[in-house]
């Protein structure tokens, strides 16, 4: 049984066309506060083995003391195309390209602008 809504590493792209992999730090817009200051939410992309898909986990959930505190509530949604398009990868894991060279996260092959326009139509 195939579930197309469950996204695997590299299937979702951020607002700049960078593919999202486990371990990436994601920033999403939250609200505009006083003096027009933009506030953001920070999540880490984590592979959820039970669901078999990527999940966006709030950064404070990585610390057990903060995660279990009663004042800290919030969800950790499964990553989708819409959530990925609203997020921006601000840090990530390095990877090895086909030639064996170590590349940084921002050197990942990006989604082509033409392909993004075709998907919108």
Confidence of residue 28 (pLDDT cuts 50, 70, 90): very high
**What end-to-end distance do the CA atoms of the chain give, in Å?**
28
CB neighbour list of residue 4: distance below 8 Å, 6 or more residues apart: none
Least confident of 40-49, 61-70, 112-121: 112-121
Return left, alpha or beta for 35; rule: phi > 0 is left, psi -120 to 50 is alpha, else beta.
left
DSSP 120: H
With residue 114 as reference, give the H or E element that holds it.
Answer: helix 113-120
**pLDDT tens sequence across 96-110:** 777 877 788 778 888
Does the pLDDT value for residue 71 go beyond 90?
A: no
Q: In what order do the strands lie in the sheet with 25-32?
A: 53-58, 38-48, 25-32, 88-91
What's the sign of the alpha-carbon dihedral 104, 105, 109, 110?
negative
**Whole-prediction pTM value?**
0.76
Distance CA 63, CA 86 (A): 25
Closest CA to 15 of 79, 110, 92, 104: 110
């Amino acid at each position: 049984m195939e579930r197309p809504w469950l996204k695997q590493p590299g299937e979702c792209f951020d607002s700049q066309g960078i593919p999202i992999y486990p371990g990436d730090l994601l920033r999403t817009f939250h609200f505009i506060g006083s003096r027009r200051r933009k506030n953001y939410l920070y999540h880490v992309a984590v592979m959820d083995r039970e669901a078999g898909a990527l999940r966006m986990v709030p950064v404070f959930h990585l610390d057990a003391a903060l995660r279990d505190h009663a004042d800290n509530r919030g969800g950790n949604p499964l990553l989708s195309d819409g959530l990925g398009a609203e997020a921006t990868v601000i840090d990530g894991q390095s990877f090895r390209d086909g030639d064996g060279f170590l590349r940084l996260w921002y050197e990942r092959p990006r989604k082509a602008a033409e392909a993004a326009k075709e998907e919108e139509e």
